[in-house]
Amino acid sequence: MRRSYLQSQSLIELLLTIGLSAVLLPALITGLISSREGKAQQQERIQAASLLRQTYEAVRSIRNRGWDNISVNGTYHPVISGTLWASSSGAITTNGFTQSYTVSDINRDSSGIIVTVPAGTLDPSTKKIDIAISWEEPSVSTLSSTLYLTRYRDNLTYAETTQTDFNAGTKNSVAVQVTNPPSVPDDGEIILGAGGQGDWCNPSGFIQAELNLPQGSAAKSVRALQGRAFTGTTTYLTGNFVDIAVTNTNPPVPSITASMPGYPTNDVFISGQYAYVAVEDLFDIYHKDVVIIDLNTHLEVGYFDAASWIGGQGVFVIGNVGYVTAGTRLYTFDLSAKTGSRPLLGSITVEPFPGSLFSYGRRLYVVGGYAYIAVAGWSNTEMRIINVNNPSSLSRAGYANVNGESGQEVFVNETGTRTYLATNNSGSNPEFFIINTSSKTGSRPVLGSYDAGGMSPRGVTAAPGNIAILVGLNGTEYQVLNISNETSPNKCGEMNLNAGIYGVSAVLEDDGDAYAYIVTRDSSKEFKIIEGGPGGRYAYTGTFESQTFDALYPRFFNRLDFTFSKPALTDLKLQIALADPPCTNPTYTYVGPDGTTGTFFTDDGTIPFSAVGTYKNPGQCLRYKVFFNTTDAFNTPVFNDFTVNYSP
């Protein structure tokens, strides 16, 4: 019985073993076979990866010897030619591996991003390289890689930056001048025509006329108009108002039309046929802070009395409203009539209490409903902005705190967005400031400043061509500043008279002449006329068309770069032209970054690969055209240099 049981158990175990073997042995055998094949596949993949890297380096080596080696679309494989890699058409199969690389075009969108064909625009200076290594045993497989190669390795460049380069082009209402400071010999730049045949940056070489004023005393202010200048001399409680005629000749000839004694003149403003003279009236003896003089008769016809004990310091007129700084206050007065005592409209202390007790307003400038005042004395600010939109209800708006010294004079551009402030000499801080007054409220930021180097400024003005002129006492008394870069004004010229200069005013004549009139303490030649430049009739718009660059044979022009500056209220833009030879006198079609005639480059960018009109890229004959614009008579955009790169 026991034997029968054991025999039955053994039979069951045998049957289970056979059953399990039937299930497990096929899987085990398959796994063993797959393991052997996987190891073989891994070895093939390693070899394929090595061949892929070899092809990658071979293609780069082929391209590095010249763009033409990979410029033609198609399928190739690398071969050794001598000691160098070269291309051979089609794929090649060696030892079971098929090796190839395919060259194809790429397109880019307007931002330069690679996009799928047919979108975008063909980029003939970039090629897509698809590398593939394939094999069939022990199983069909492929390894691939993609790289992009450009022709920029072979780039050549052409640049224009010197006066010689620019003078070879065609100038329309623009002028070429030396760059200050120059970065290369003959370094040049292009600006809108700024008038004048002189050189603002060489003032001592262009003193065109001098005149002795009556009474031999210091003149404190000067106003210039075309054909006329107005100033006055001052000694204690006496002085002369002086009307000067200036001929429209080159050089101009000044002569005194009228001299009116009894008017110790601090400041002058001219409007229509009237001169408004801020007079020194110490202790309010004359009871006149502003006198009104008819320039046809040279007689006093009216006046305004602010009852200030020091008299008028600065005067300005807009329409039928007069403005005068006298003592601690700004006053407005009615000029709907010019005769007799003119009535007060409104007044306000320039500084709020308690600063108003220790400060006073100096010169002022009124633009667009705001008065900009240089503040002197012990004050926390050197420049104040007063809202005068309602002349009968004045209010303080903004201010600038710059160096702790007394403000002396302000000049404001035509839109009131920039204020140029001159202060007394500071031992440790600058004295000239460019202030952003686009907004009128709160603390106004300083954009740039300049140290006058020992001179104590008394006057400041702007002149056409991004020029500011700073004059004063001690040190170098006449300093010319290039302010095209507002954040970093720099001196481009100077003149030392050893006499002191109290006032400066710039004038631009209809015939294009530009002058600075100055008044000095030179007892025999107080009034002087200095011609400015760099020449070219003054213009608000202009163009510059470059000389032709001949690349000798058609090239791909890839990218342009240009350096420029655009002060407030100015603009500058550029277009490019490429044409077929001959380059002596082709017809040019100028285009912008999208390849059409209606767009413009406003910064560096890719040159379009397209064709419109006579524009073609690749091309052989290249020109560029710069468009200049300003809405501020004293500021111009500046074009410094142009560079283009191109490839075979």
Q: What is the pLDDT of residues 622-646, one digit of tens each?
A: 999 999 999 998 899 999 999 999 8
User: Does 317 lie in the same domain as 198?
Assistant: yes
283/178 Cα distance (integer angstroms): 52
Instruction: Identify the DSSP state of 614.
Output: T
**Quick one: which H or E segment has residue 20?**
helix 2-64
434/240 Cα distance (integer angstroms): 34
Tokens standing for 484?
């095209």
Nearest-Å Rg of the Cα atoms of the chain is 40
Tokens standing for 51?
């061949």
Which residue, 637, 617, 465, 462, is CA-closest to 564? 637
| Mean pLDDT over the full length of the chain | 89
CATH code of 550's domain: 2.60.120.260
User: Does 162 lie in the same domain as 145?
Assistant: no
**Quick one: which H or E segment has residue 21?**
helix 2-64
Residue 486 · residue 567 · CB < 8 Å: yes
User: Does 169 lie in the same domain as 223?
Assistant: no
Q: Is residue 22 part of a domain?
A: no
Instruction: Tell me the pLDDT tens digit for each residue of 246-259.
Output: 999 888 999 999 99
Instruction: Tell me the pLDDT tens digit for each residue of 319-352.
Output: 999 999 999 999 999 999 999 999 999 999 999 9
pLDDT at 154: 65
Residue 469 · residue 478 · CB < 8 Å: yes
Report the residue count for the chain: 648
Cα dihedral angle (425, 426, 427, 432), rounded to 10 degrees? Answer: -90
Final residue in a domain of this structure, among 531, 553, 573? 531
Instruction: Tell me the pLDDT tens digit for each residue of 254-287.
Output: 999 999 998 999 999 999 999 999 998 777 777 8
Which residue, 200, 235, 216, is CA-closest to 527? 216
Tokens standing for 141?
């497989």
Residue 326 · residue 310 · CB < 8 Å: yes
pLDDT at 32: 43
Q: Is residue 476 part of a domain?
A: yes
User: Does 107 lie in the same domain as 67?
Assistant: yes
Q: List C-alpha distances in Å: 646 to 105, 297, 592, 594, 617.
A: 19, 70, 17, 18, 10
Residue 637 · residue 570 · CB < 8 Å: yes
Which residue, 230, 289, 303, is CA-closest to 260? 230
356/329 Cα distance (integer angstroms): 8
Domain count, the chain: 3
The string of DSSP codes covering 369-417 is: TEEEEEEEES-S-SEEEEE-SSTTS-EEEEEE--SSS-EEEEEE-TTSS
User: Does 496 lie in the same domain as 456?
Assistant: yes
User: Does 315 lie in the same domain as 228?
Assistant: yes
Final residue in a domain of this structure, among 499, 531, 563? 531
Cα dihedral angle (253, 471, 360, 325), rounded to 10 degrees? Answer: 20
252/581 Cα distance (integer angstroms): 50
Q: How many of the other CB atoms lie within 10 Å of CB of 276?
A: 27
pLDDT confidence bin for 218, thresholds 50/70/90: confident
Under 8 Å CB-to-CB from 426, ≥6 apart: which residues? 403, 404, 405
Supply the range of the domain harboring residue 550. 156-190+540-647
Q: Is residue 30 part of a domain?
A: no
Q: Is residue 20 part of a domain?
A: no
Q: Is residue 3 part of a domain?
A: no
CATH code of 411's domain: 2.130.10.10
User: Does 147 lie in the same domain as 161?
Assistant: no
Residue 177 · residue 626 · CB < 8 Å: no
DSSP reduced 3-state for 435: strand
User: Does 524 lie in the same domain as 478?
Assistant: yes
Instruction: Tell me the pLDDT tens digit for each residue of 436-468.
Output: 999 999 999 999 999 999 999 999 999 999 999
| Full-model pTM | 0.76
Which has more confidence, 534 or 505? 505
User: Does 547 lie in the same domain as 510?
Assistant: no
pLDDT at 353: 84
pLDDT confidence bin for 161, thresholds 50/70/90: very high
Under 8 Å CB-to-CB from 174, ≥6 apart: which residues? 190, 191, 192, 193, 536, 539, 542, 543, 544, 628
24 burial via Cβ count (<10 Å: 0-12, 13-18, 19+):
exposed
User: Does 374 lie in the same domain as 481?
Assistant: yes
Final residue in a domain of this structure, among 137, 152, 167? 152
User: Does 355 lie in the same domain as 470?
Assistant: yes
Q: Is residue 1 part of a domain?
A: no
Which residue, 405, 448, 397, is CA-closest to 426? 405
| φ and ψ at residue 50, rounded to 5 degrees | -65, -40
Instruction: Tell me the pLDDT tens digit for each residue of 16-72.
Output: 556 555 555 555 444 544 445 567 778 888 898 889 999 999 998 998 888 788 889
Q: Is residue 13 part of a domain?
A: no
Q: Is residue 117 part of a domain?
A: yes
Which has more confidence, 281 or 2? 281
Q: List C-alpha distances in Å: 147 to 34, 53, 214.
A: 35, 12, 84
User: Does 590 lie in the same domain as 456?
Assistant: no
